[in-house]
Amino acid sequence: MKILVAHNRYLYRGGEDTVVDAEVNLLRQRGHQVWVYSRDNTEIQYLTPFEAAKTTFWSRQTVQELQKIHQQFSPDLIHAHNTFPLISPSLYGVAKKCRIPVVQTLHNFRLVCPQAMLLREGKHCEDCVGKLPWRAIVHRCYRQSLSQTALTSTMLMGQRLRGIWHQQISRFIVLNQLCREIFARGGLPMDKLRIKPNFVESHQAPQWQHRRGGLFIGRLSTEKGIEVLINALDKLPTHVIDVFGKGPLQALVEDSPRLRYGGFQSSEVLRQKLNNAAYLVMPSTGVESFGLVAIEAFACGTPVIATRHGGLRELIQHGQNGLLVPPNDANALASAIAYAESHPDHMRRMGMAARKNYLNSYTPERNYEQLIQIYHEAVNPAPLPLTTHLTHAETRHSRQ
């Protein structure tokens, strides 16, 4: 296959950017030709507010560049990831004109929530799912800005009214069953929603001895639960958590005596940190659609202490491969961290179970099988046999 991958990169590199790069490498390693079309949010600083707003709805630059790529590369398929704001919905217009099928990965909840994380005032919110997003505008959900929230909401409504979701996208990739249910309630066609989790590559077998302490890895922002973690550690004066990442709350992290800030590190360094840690902490207040860092931890045999909602609730089985706590509950998080520190044998057993979960579900080999199946469905959207909708295990059983 010749695949055009389109992705609007974020100002702060995060899980979505990592997933895109990993999938591109996965496809190239297996012989596919891949052309990556990317734009970067650093471009916004060179645009006037009017130009930035206009680009959110339609980008002449995107149209011209994609048409040129089509002439040079003639892709069989476009795999779109994040298109907001610079690539814009204009990508779908080019795909329709050139008759190229589109697969769209939904890394976050942008299509049903202007704020993208189902989060308002630090709490879970689905007020706009399947409805006109006027509530988001009233509450200024996107960056606490009336104008930016109105702009984003209008863009989403335009996509819906123009039938882009139903008519111009062949398949949607969602990361778990929870996401599938939310997007279906939000108006996306259920028969086009395919579940494919993210994956990571494991470079070495884990070591189980001499693991100590906890880690936080991720964007330093409110929705990742940084303030909750600080409040929890205030109740544990002898405990310190190592923190790696960058974001708007970096100064708060650096000022906390209970957090040891290690900056933004390469994936190789973080993998080694995970191999030596007793547990990873993910106290997200926003709904994680998946939780890529959790899978990184699983690959290293490291159990995860996480919030009991969103995609993390599906990844982590309490007491088996990690511990779950209620969102925004600093007391419960403190208790879980204290338990992890005082029960190293149990944490080690949970780490072994986490490694098995990784090998069963989140390897590159397993992910490629799922991804190429979705691509073939998009390119050949004929009625599908029953086995297409079965799980991998069920499909294998049906062939025996």
Look up residue 86 and give its DSSP letter: T
In a domain, 207, yes or no: no
Average pLDDT over every residue of 300-312:
94
Note the pTM of the prediction, 2 decimals: 0.85
Domain residues for the domain of 171 are 2-200+367-393
Q: Is 26 helix (H, G, I), strand (E, B) or coil?
A: helix
Residues 242 and 143 occupy one common structural domain: no
In a domain, 17, yes or no: yes
* Sign of the alpha-carbon dihedral angle for 376, 180, 192, 174: negative
Residues 300 and 344 occupy one common structural domain: yes
Return the structure tokens found at 104: 């769209």
Average pLDDT over every residue of 91-116:
96
Whole-number Å distance between alpha carbons of 48 and 120: 28
Residues 164 and 268 occupy one common structural domain: no
Residues 269 and 297 occupy one common structural domain: yes
Specify the CATH number for the domain of residue 356: 3.40.50.2000
In a domain, 317, yes or no: yes
Residues 351 and 379 occupy one common structural domain: no
In a domain, 230, yes or no: yes
Q: Is 84 helix (H, G, I), strand (E, B) or coil?
A: coil
Chain segment 231-249, per-residue pLDDT in tens: 999 999 999 999 999 999 9
In a domain, 343, yes or no: yes
Average pLDDT over every residue of 100-122:
93
Residues 75 and 122 occupy one common structural domain: yes
Residues 223 and 183 occupy one common structural domain: no
Residues 270 and 134 occupy one common structural domain: no
Residues 246 and 283 occupy one common structural domain: yes
Residues 284 and 313 occupy one common structural domain: yes
Query: For residue 390, is pLDDT > 60?
Result: no
Domain tally, the chain:
2
Per DSSP, the chain holds a count of helices (H) and strands (E) of: 16, 14
**Average of per-residue pLDDT values in the chain:** 92
In a domain, 209, yes or no: no
In a domain, 90, yes or no: yes
- The rounded percent of the chain whose pLDDT value lies above 90 is 80
In a domain, 205, yes or no: no
Say what the pLDDT of residue 383 is: 58
Residues 128 and 245 occupy one common structural domain: no
Residues 22 and 163 occupy one common structural domain: yes
